[in-house]
Amino acid sequence: MTVQENISLKQYTTFGCNEISRYFTSIPSQDALVEAISWCKEKQIPYFILGTGSNVLFTKPFEGLIIKMEVVGIKKTNETATNVFLSVGAGENWHHFVSYCVQKGWGGIENLSLIPGTVGASPIQNIGAYGVEVEESIESVTALDTQTNQWITLSNSQCAFGYRNSLFKKEKNRYLITTVQFILKKQHQLRTDYGSIKELLHEKNIKNPSLADLSNAIVQIRTSKLPNPAKLGNAGSFFKNPSVSKTNFEKLKTDFPELIAYPISDDTYKLAAGWLIENCGWKGVRKGNVGCYDKQSLVIVNYGQATGKEIYDFSEEIIQSVLTKFNVVLEREVTIL
Ligand SMILES: Cc1cc2nc3c(=O)[nH]c(=O)nc-3n(C[C@H](O)[C@H](O)[C@H](O)COP(=O)(O)OP(=O)(O)OC[C@H]3O[C@@H](n4cnc5c(N)ncnc54)[C@H](O)[C@@H]3O)c2cc1C
């Protein structure tokens, strides 16, 4: 195992902040992961598993070992008349994997095109976009349970998926994922009902889109709406859409008739966090090195030299102003260290 010391995490996270990790290693195999964990246990230091760092914010130096996930490989394990079963290394690039499936004609994850990150991180917050969540295509997840030191395979239901949530988010750092097993569909019903997708396909005069048409449309939409982390540091949506009771929703709707929200159960509504933030006047606001993106107020951007702490403090100001104006608590989607 090669361990580097005092490594800047600037190039390893999409926020591009110059925080330092005391130790850093890459792991290309399950054995290497076991070795890295026993090294940390021996030294009694913390560890943190990192994919491409597109959903994390380091706000201070990390006094432990960063374990960069590099287990790769896409293997077909089974095929039936209707489905294909794949076992995929946690270090595979997510969009590369989506493109591979689209090209093969296997459906289920095409709406998740161009989400940055690794396959192994996809179950952590149950990545989602354009009406689809990855849980719909995950059969099981293989991980090292660091509490018992055993390898386990958790079924889809054991993963306890929810909106930007899962067992892995609830029990932070316990399960270190090395492989995700997917079920994809051969005859797939495309999900094109999202407004901007419909509009773009119509504009392109595509009446019966293929998987590739849909994936390309989503890539085009995302590229036009979201900042490219290679040019402007960010971690996508910084906040989750908050849930409120029906009573709270009705009160808010009376006070703010333009409020954007949708029911998720008989007595719960989800509010559009972007609308709340925008209506507190944050869209496009810049304070020093940090700002609220001018095309999408859910995204906080690093104009180049921001520290993680500056970004965190900016997000706290947003949370406080939403609380003051709407009495709604915003929760961060990004993992904070
Ligand atoms: C421009 C942009 C757009 C985005 N759009 C979306 C979107 O539409 N939908 C969406 O859901 N997300 C979106 N995201 C967030 C992000 O892409 C996803 O959360 C992605 O899954 C993170 O992958 P990663 O490899 O970068 O994970 P990291 O940021 O490296 O890690 C995220 C968390 O997962 C844990 N983790 C990572 N790998 C493993 C593993 N193998 N085992 C155990 N834990 C692990 C880490 O410890 C950390 O807690 C966006 C981000 C950006 C920058």
Encode pLDDT of 35-69 as tens digits.
999 999 999 999 999 999 999 999 999 999 999 99
Find the mean pLDDT for residues 124-147. 96
User: For the whole prediction, is pTM greater than 0.95?
Assistant: no
On whether both 30 and 117 belong to a single domain, the answer is no
Q: Coil, strand or helix: which one is 335?
A: strand
pLDDT at 171 over 90: yes
Give the domain CATH number at 240.
Answer: 3.90.78.10
104-135 core/surface letters (b: 16 or more CB in 10 A; e: else): eebbbbbbbbbbbbbbbbbbbbbbbbbebbbb
Q: Is 5 a residue of the active site?
A: no
Q: Among the options 19, 70, 133, 333, which is catalytic?
A: 333
- Å from CA of 297 to ligand 1 middle: 19
Q: Is 196 a residue of the active site?
A: no
For the Cβ of 120 lying below 6 angstroms from any atom of ligand 1, the answer is yes
On whether both 79 and 171 belong to a single domain, the answer is yes
On whether both 149 and 252 belong to a single domain, the answer is no
On whether both 121 and 45 belong to a single domain, the answer is no
Ligand 1 site-directed mutation target among 54, 130, 180, most atoms within 8 Å of CB? 54
pLDDT of 315:
97
pLDDT of 62:
97
Question: Is residue 199 assigned to a domain?
Answer: no
CA pseudo-torsion sign 192, 219, 242, 182: positive
On whether both 15 and 47 belong to a single domain, the answer is yes
Question: Is residue 176 assigned to a domain?
Answer: yes
Give the domain CATH number at 54.
Answer: 3.30.43.10
Q: Exposed (0-12), middle (13-18) or buried (19+): which is 273, by Cβ within 10 Å?
A: buried
pLDDT of 195:
83
Ligand 1 site-directed mutation target among 9, 115, 196, most atoms within 8 Å of CB? 115
DSSP 189: -
Q: How many domains does the chain contain in total?
A: 3
Question: Is residue 108 assigned to a domain?
Answer: yes
pLDDT at 71 over 90: yes
Q: pLDDT band at 194, cuts 50/70/90?
A: confident
* Parent domain of 321: 233-336
Find the mean pLDDT for residues 136-156. 96
The residue to which tokens 């001018």 are assigned: 294
On whether both 80 and 178 belong to a single domain, the answer is yes
Q: Coil, strand or helix: which one is 328?
A: coil
Q: pLDDT band at 250, cuts 50/70/90?
A: very high
Give the domain CATH number at 172.
Answer: 3.30.465.10
Take residue 33 and report the two structure tokens written for it.
């992961």
Q: pLDDT band at 266, cuts 50/70/90?
A: confident
